A and B are shown apart, each in its own frame.
Chain A
Amino acid sequence: MSAGPYGALLDAVRGVRWPASRRILGATLGAHTSQLKGNSSEFSEFRPYRQGDDPRRIDWRLLARSDRAYVRLTTDRATFATGIVVDASASMAFPAATFAKWRLARELAVGLGSVAHSEADPVGLSIASDRPIVLAPRARRSVLIEMIRALDNMTPAGNAVVAPLIASNRAPRIVVITDLLGDAEEIINAARLRVAARGEVVIVHIIAMEELDPPREAMLAVDPEAPETRRILDGALRAEYRDRFSRWVDDVAAKSRAAGVRYIRALTDEPAAHAIRRIAGESVRRS
């Protein structure tokens, strides 16, 4: 497998585990704790035999010692499909010189896909652009290469909407990598529905440092997704702009959490591997 420029990132996230946040309902043998109690080798507990139980699960040795029939329960482990939704709207192509937001989004998608794939989980990719790309969750070895190829061939542009890709995604765990500047309300609402359907949704909010702290020189700011929106930003308005933006960021974070969605903020000056460990680590703490 050739990971190209992602080689260093994949090396950095090797060994990172990204368990599901709760017991999952899955039959395919995997790495995540299942709600099912089966007959795997990992013993969990004994339960008195009830009519209808499979007699083969009766612990005969215990029956011989105690003259009571107990069923041996084990903890099953299952796979956990992960769908990664990446926002490729024009606002992600920022700053124009470096595309730092888009680069971070790609690295997070590839890194999280790699972490999930390393646990034998099926991984899928959806790219929200003018021509959406959807790769269904697969566990095969080439899935990561397909993801890298799709992401590298994509240039952020237009007014892509992310929410429909969340609603149509069947993966029980969905990671939405976006700057939330297009359709934040719709994204949170779609995520709320997925959470209500016992899914797990993580919103990774990409924020560029230049958005937090724009250049100090007076400028005519132009919205890339709505070029008719042009406003002057100079020293007198910077403070109010920063206040409005930070209040909006806090607002979408609060709304996301209120919807049961995990909200994680990722700044463009943060290494992708660090952000991936943060995402996976928080999952572990919650579980």
Chain B
Amino acid sequence: MVLLHLVAWQRPAAYVLPTTRFIPDQRTVVSRAATRPRDMLLLVLRVLMFLAAATAFARPVLTPSSGSVATIVLLDRSRVVGAAADAVARARTALGAGDKSVLVVFDTSASIIASTALDSIARAPLSNSVGSLSAGLALARRSASELAERVDSVRLVIVSPLVRAELDSASAQLRAKWPGAVGLQRVVAARDSSAKAQVRVVRRALSVEDSSAARSGTTVVHWDSTSTSATSAQGLSAGDEVVVAQFGRTAVSNGGRVVASWADGTTAASETQIGTGCIRNVGVAIPVAGDLALHAPYQRIVRRLTMPCGESTGNVALDSASVRRLVGTGTSAASASALRNSDAPPTPIVKWMLALALLLGVAELFVRAQMKPQVAA
């Protein structure tokens, strides 16, 4: 910047010359290299403007006070938790008294809960679904990015029995996005009662007894194949299974959890939880003739449609190798710099620096315009 100031196209010093009219009127600026800096005020303004702009484009952040550590606690509230009170107690211990800690509660989805609401959570029943650790990890990672602007490092603690069904294909990738080790507080897993649950397939209109049975824990599968429409080639998917065959459709309400879908996205089967059981509406008309029933994919779909509410997981505990991968290596608390998102919104200091650079630019223009030429003669 100083060199640019010294060597620049500029108006030279003014010189009173009565015979100016005899000078050809061609250029208004010349290139001249000054041996000593002139116009020190201009130089200072230009250097400051350059520094402010460079600082702004470097996206600076306000470094939080050293040593401040925040904790994110992932509390499992799905049905796989066997000791809910113990889990809440461990979560409370992990949260500590820090006002910068975050409690993330997850089952099939995750949400941030105020740590003061732990008592209320302890009194609430567990979810009837198997938890999704991926959902919890994703929200924890996003929360950590926000916390990183305020703290020096962030610790992640998972309070869960960690059964195999809670991990999916995204879990490993989401875990890899956490730059550090993960604290683990394993609680006792619940025994899987779904295997012993009764399933009642109803091929007529539902009755009061059906609803009562569902409230008491029975899975009522309402599969009324009598009101079928004309069959046509349809694609049916349930979970990972897909089968294409001649199917008929019956109307299925959109409420509840979708269990199976048609190829066009409409719901083929859904279930609604009632009490400790559920009612599953299946809108798939079974073909009257054909060998479809002999095909393995179709059989798997039928099994899925007639299984107890939720998925029977057996609550198999995660093997030790998977647990080690989940815990990971490195420091127990991830540094804030590693947690910050590159596409995170700029800190206010960036805007202030840009505004300062703009202000200095305007001041430089003003000073340059006001600067009277040094008249010599």
A residues in contact (CB < 8 Å) with B? 90-91, 94-97, 179, 181, 208, 210-211, 214-215, 217-226, 229-234, 237, 240-241, 244-245, 248
Contacts and interface: CB of A to CB of B under 8 A. Distances in A.
A54 B28 CA distance: 78
B15 A215 contact: yes
Contacts of A248: 22
Nearest to B17: A221
Q: Is the interface of B mostly helix, strand, loop or mixed?
A: loop
Given A94-B377, A233-B23, A245-B22, A214 B17 contact: yes
Interface in B15-68: 15-30, 32
Contacts of A244: 22-24
A41 B131 CA distance: 145
Contacts of B18: 90-91, 94, 179, 181, 208, 211, 223-225
Contacts of B28: 230, 232
Contact of B17 (A223, A234, A240): A223
A219 B26 contact: no
Contact of A222 (B20, B24, B27, B30): B20
A211 B19 contact: yes
B89 to A, nearest CB: 83
Which of B16, B18, B27 neighbours the largest number of chain A CB atoms within 10 Å of its CB? B18
Nearest to A220: B14
A221 B29 contact: no
B14 A222 contact: yes
A112 B298 CA distance: 129
A270 to B, nearest CB: 18
The list of the 6 closest CB pairs from A to B, nearest first, reads A96-B377, A91-B18, A219-B15, A223-B20, A221-B17, A231-B23
Contacts of B204: none
A221 B30 contact: no
Contacts of B29: 232
B12 interface: yes
A230 B14 contact: yes
Nearest to B377: A96
Given A96-B375, A217-B13, 5 more contacts: A221-B14, A222-B20, A223-B18, A244-B22, A248-B22
Contact of A221 (B15, B26, B32): B15
Contacts of A230: 14, 20, 28
A232 B17 contact: no
A237 B23 CA distance: 7
Contacts of B19: 181, 211, 241, 245
Interface string B333-356: 000000000000000000000000
